[in-house]
Amino acid sequence: MTGIPDIEVVVVDVLGTLVDEHTGLRAAIREAVPASDEAAADDLLSLWQQHRELEQRRIQQGLREYVGSETIDAEAARLVAGRAGLSDPATIARLATAGRRLPPWPDSAAGLERLAQWFPVVGLSNAARTALLRLNAHAGLRWHQALSAEAVRAYKPAPEVYRLAVDAAGCAPERVLMVAAHAWDLRGAQAVGMRTAYVERPVGDPPTSSDVFDGGFGGLDELVAVLTGGQIA
């Protein structure tokens, strides 16, 4: 029996939940454009994030054919370069792969390791396969399985992405726990019958008063303690 009963498999979001995407992208922009001040770096980061959100939404709405996250990141890097007056091809190419080098949150690696001693653990990300492979290695994330939404040519919160994880789990969706720092992500998981746990991060999408998730936690270590009953395997 766990703190959230009847869970067989744990699925964890990656971007924002296990890695600090905001800080990582901002650092890559500062590296590419070292003359930028704090306000300029924030403006360039917003440009990147707005482009990605817009293009993923257009794909979800059928307004654009599916392209992977690395294509969208490359587009964002070119937009940032254009705004910043950056023209060096090698610098722009490195900036485009910033999503492969995001730092983990302090509790991510140890939390995953401990969680994996009790449950099969699956990573589920909008990041493309190649980006996810490199990111997991860079951040020290260890899984039983890592799944990219690229496999179903969609982006969360499309239901087929969550069904990909449920199919991999091999059990009923109500026995699969989705863990994320984004309420929109958890709502998508709920829509296909998965259980849900919100993990608070400094930059994320917190639940609203109308959200009802199976658990809410101040960090991954707190979630792991509840799921394992505070025990060490």
- Only one residue has tokens 């794909």, namely 59
CA distance 154 to 207: 24
Across the range 91-103, mean pLDDT stands at: 97
CATH class of 21-100: mainly alpha
H or E stretch at 130: helix 129-139
Predicted confidence (pLDDT) per residue in 102-136, tens digit = 999 999 999 999 999 999 999 999 999 999 999 99
Share of the chain above pLDDT 70, in %: 97
Chain-wide mean pLDDT for the chain? Answer: 95
Three-state secondary-structure class, residue 206? coil
Q: For the domain made up of 9-20+102-227, give the CATH fold.
A: Rossmann fold (3.40.50)
Give residue 182's pLDDT.
97
Give residue 36's pLDDT.
84
Give residue 1's pLDDT.
36
Give residue 121's pLDDT.
98
Residue 190 identity (one-letter amino acid): Q
Residue 188, class by beta-carbon neighbours within 10 Å (0-12 exposed, 13-18 middle, 19+ buried)? buried
Enumerate the domain spans of the chain.
9-20+102-227, 21-100
CA distance 231 to 226: 9
CA distance 233 to 224: 12
Give residue 230's pLDDT.
64
How many CA atoms lie within 13 Å of 146's alpha carbon, on the beta-carbon side?
Answer: 20
CA distance 176 to 179: 10
Interhelix angle 21-32/69-84, rounded to 10 degrees, is 40
Asked if residue 2 has pLDDT above 70, the reply is: no
Q: Is the pTM of this model over 0.75?
A: yes
